[in-house]
Each structure stands twice: as C-alpha cells, then as structure tokens.
Structure 1
Amino acid sequence: MILVTGSILACEDAFDDVLRSCLEHVERSRKEPGCISHDVHVDCQNPMRLFFFEQWADEAALRAHFAVEGTKAFIKSLKGRIVETSGTKIYRAEAIRR
C-alpha cells in the first residue's frame, strides 16, 4: 500500500471554491481503481490549510491517478487560488511498519 500526504493553503477569498474543488476531487478519486481511501481535512490550527491523506493499493494505481484528466484539471484549477502547497509526500506502508 502507498500512503500520500500533502497540503495546500488557500487564499482567504477563494477558500470556499477551493474546498468545493477539493471535495469534488476526493469524491472522484475514491472511484478510481486502486484507491483505498482519499480524504481532505481542514487544519484546526490554520483553517485556510487543507490537508490530504490518501491510501492507494500500489504505485501503479497512484501513477494512474496522477495521469487522470480530472486530477490534472484539479491541480490546474488551484492556480491563483492557493498561497502555497506543502508538496506531496509518498510513503510505502511496508516501510512504515518496520
């Protein structure tokens, strides 16, 4: 299993639209082959930051996810509506268990 984390900091005036886009992205992603879970959470210390936590069956499923047109469109839609991104971090669950 592959674990993915990341966060974005939304512009205050665009937060509602960014959150809506994130929720749509999560719902679409959950239907993709190999998606075990895909969630977005509002940071309780900084309510403009949205945190993603994803679980994928394997690397092939994750690569396919990033290649889906919907994912590309989601990423492109954030331009100009977010202040920063933490960058995506990818972990192999097997390595974490050790």
Structure 2
Amino acid sequence: MTIQIVVTFGLVPERLEPTLAAFQELAEHTRREEGALRFDVFRSQEEEHTVVLVEEWADQAAIDLHMKEEYTRAFLGKVDGAFTDPARVHRLVEIGG
C-alpha cells in the first residue's frame, strides 16, 4: 500500500516568489525519484500565501531517501524563515478502506 500525504504551508508574503520557485525546483527533482509516485505543488486560490503539496510514495523507505537527498536539504535552506508557521502534514487513510 502506498503512502499518501498532503502538506500545507503558510508563506511569508515578502518571500512568496522565491519560495514558490524553490517549491517548483524541488518538485522537478523529486518527480525523478524512483519511489515518488506523485509530487505536485499547488497554490490555494482562496489563500494566495498558502502552498499545498500532494504526495504519493511507494513506501516509507522512499520518503526517508527523499529527505536525505541533497536537493531536499538545499530546498530547506532556501525556504528557511519563509513560513508563517510549521508545515501541517497529513498522512491520509482511506475511509472504509
């Protein structure tokens, strides 16, 4: 069974453009990972300073490897201080599944 995750981020308005660019770059790299089945970045229509990641991973090992990648660490450095609050991570479970 795959792991599905939704993560929401509130962005500091003054850091919006470079942070969105950093998310795009992270997505481009992540989509090439063998265990990354889905890694999409969205911006909320209702809250312009909110970014939402929708992810699907083959397993926990794929997530662990992703977090160790150089470009993931570089992303974290680029967005340091760019969030209004901690990211909200939601691991999803199917209702009735």
Partner Cα distance (2:70, 2:90) in 1: 21
Range with greater deviation from structure 2 (65-74 or 35-44):
65-74
Partner Cα distance (1:53, 1:6) in 2: 7
TM-score by length of structure 1 reads 0.87
Q: Secondary structure at the match of 1:83?
A: coil
Partner of 1:58: 59
Q: Secondary structure at the match of 1:37?
A: strand
Bigger helix fraction: 1
TM-score by length of structure 2 reads 0.88
The structural deviation recorded for 1:90 is 2.5
Letter of the 1:21 partner, please give it. A
Q: State the Cα RMSD in Å.
A: 1.4
Q: What stretches of structure 1 of length at least 5 have no aligned partner?
A: none
Partner Cα distance (1:87, 1:81) in 2: 15
Q: Deviations over 1:48-96 (max 9, x none)?
A: 00000001111111111111121122122211222123332234xxx52
Partner Cα distance (1:46, 1:83) in 2: 13
Q: Percent identity between the aligned chains?
A: 22
Bigger strand fraction: 1
Letter of the 2:20 partner, please give it. L
Partner Cα distance (1:75, 1:39) in 2: 17
Partner of 1:81: 82
- After TM superposition, where is structure 1 displaced by more than 4 Å over at least 4 residues in a row? none
